[in-house]
Amino acid sequence: MRMLSDCSSVEGATIVMSDWRELTKDELYAILRLRQEVFVLEQYCPFVDADDLDQKAIHMAVWDGEDLVGYSRILPAGAPYEESSFGRLIVAKSFRSTGLGTELVERSLKIIEEYFGPGDIRIMAQHYLIPFYGRFGFRALKGRVWEDDILHFYMIKEDESRVRHAAD
């Protein structure tokens, strides 16, 4: 499954997609480090990152040379939600406002469709990101969730083919 492609939003960067078995120790270390830098240090959010979902995921990592600058963890239905999902989506501070976040979401959605097939997609988003994910067809579900002292909302992107057929 290991695949390489060019990143369109960061010149010279490469996107590497791997499953758990294909991740090298150095890649996993870089992923965990960036996740800690953003979620724990920047957002002041101590949490247990090792949630036993990495082993089930497709890992999309964006590398600018030796530096990991973006990441998304893509999960099949049943891990952890009934629907397919992506999460732990991060962009290194120095690469924000480059369009990389948008590219990561778009590619995550394509990977879900390609590898897991059609179906609804569920994510958990921090409250300030609801408009961002709304641009991709996600809508916030009722209720809010306080996770690690940060307000989150579950969001759903309904399977477009099912929605179209229901309208017919």
- For position 156, what pLDDT does the model report? 98
Would you call 53 helix, strand, or coil by DSSP? coil
How confident is the model at residue 103, as a pLDDT? 97
- What is the identity of the amino acid at 15? I
Mean pLDDT, rounded, for 106-135: 96
Residues 35-89 pLDDT 10s = 999 998 888 888 888 899 999 999 999 999 999 999 999 999 999 999 999 999 9
Query: In the block, which residue shows the tokens 């724990």?
Result: 40
Mean pLDDT value of segment 93-102? 96
Place of tokens 């179209």: 164
Place of tokens 């641009």: 135
Tokens describing residue 46: 């101590």
Per-residue pLDDT for 167 more than 60? no
pLDDT at 143: 85
Average pLDDT, rounded, for the chain: 92
Partners of residue 72 on adjacent β-strands: 60
Q: What was the pLDDT predicted at 165?
A: 55
**What pLDDT does residue 100 have?**
97
Bridge partners of 143, per DSSP, are none
